[in-house]
Amino acid sequence: MEKLTPTDLLPLEQYARGRDAFRKRVLAHKRNRHISVGPHTSWLFEDRLTIQYQVQEMLRAERIFEPEGIVDELAAYNPLIPDGRNWKVTLLIEFPDPAERARQLALLMGIEDLCWVQVSGHGKVLAIADEDLERENDEKTSAVHFLRFDLHPQMIASLRASAALSVGIDHLHYRHVVAPVPDSIRSALCADF
């Protein structure tokens, strides 16, 4: 997938006028890119459209309109767009109660490294996590992680030939699997290759 450039983005005023329609389009698009893995984690498989929305929203929220600021936002978010050989995933760890969230984030240290995808007939592919910066400290993990899953050409060919896809987490305190991933999601994710 091509990375975003400043010409792919709408100026703030134009974005404000079309924001509601664009947001609806992106939310509909995300339905086939989102998987709940167990009761407390969500995976959003990012692509060019989801990242474009994130950048537009950041520019809007921060009132960034200078070219240098736009380039900085693109530099921060473009690495989250898959490159045709991988998936990029935003992992959210979700516990609504702040005290419970703090307790669980301490228990779930290392969870980001134990997320996996598996194409039927092939081995598991573990996530490469948080390449931009460390999101865990000595006391707890972060509630948000950025994952990359590199797939070899045979896996991609199997997916294109309708092989099943499974995803999961193998953490001591959080073991959950989605198998198989619904076909509507698997098909949408195949478009990333």
15 and 66 fall within a common domain: yes
Computed from CA positions of residues 96, 100, 106, 111, in that sequence, does the dihedral angle turn out positive or negative? negative
Q: What's the chain's average pLDDT? A: 95
Identify the pLDDT of residue 132.
Answer: 73
Same domain flag for 172 and 188: yes
Number of domains in the chain: 2
Same-domain pairing of 106 and 127: yes
pLDDT at 71: 95
Q: Are residues 39 and 121 in the same domain?
A: yes
pLDDT digits (tens, 9 = 90+) for 131-187: 776 777 788 999 999 999 999 999 999 999 999 999 999 999 999 999 999 999 999
Clarify whether residues 57 and 126 are in a common domain.
no
Least confident of 18-27, 99-108, 135-144: 135-144
Q: What is the pLDDT of residues 25-68, one digit of tens each?
A: 999 999 999 999 999 999 999 999 999 999 999 999 999 999 99
Residues 117 and 168 in one domain: yes
Decide: 169 and 114 in contact? Cβ < 8 Å: yes
> Rounded to an integer, what distance in angstroms lies between the CA atom of residue 101 and that of residue 105?
6
Let me know whether 64 and 99 are in one domain.
no
154 and 115 housed in the same domain: yes
Is 134 found in the same domain as 69?
no
Q: What is the DSSP string of 87-148?
A: EEEEEEE--SSHHHHHHHHHHTTTGGGGEEEEETTS-EEEPEE-SSS--B-SS-B-SEEEEE
Check which CATH number belongs to the domain holding 154 and give it: 2.60.40
Do 87 and 166 have their domain in common?
yes
Same domain, residue pair 99 and 186: yes
Nearest to 37, CA basis, from 192, 174, 183, 188: 174
Taking the model in full, what pTM does it have? 0.93
Same structural domain, 173 and 87: yes
72 lies in which domain range? 1-30+48-81
Euclidean distance between CA atoms 178 and 120, whole angstroms? 13
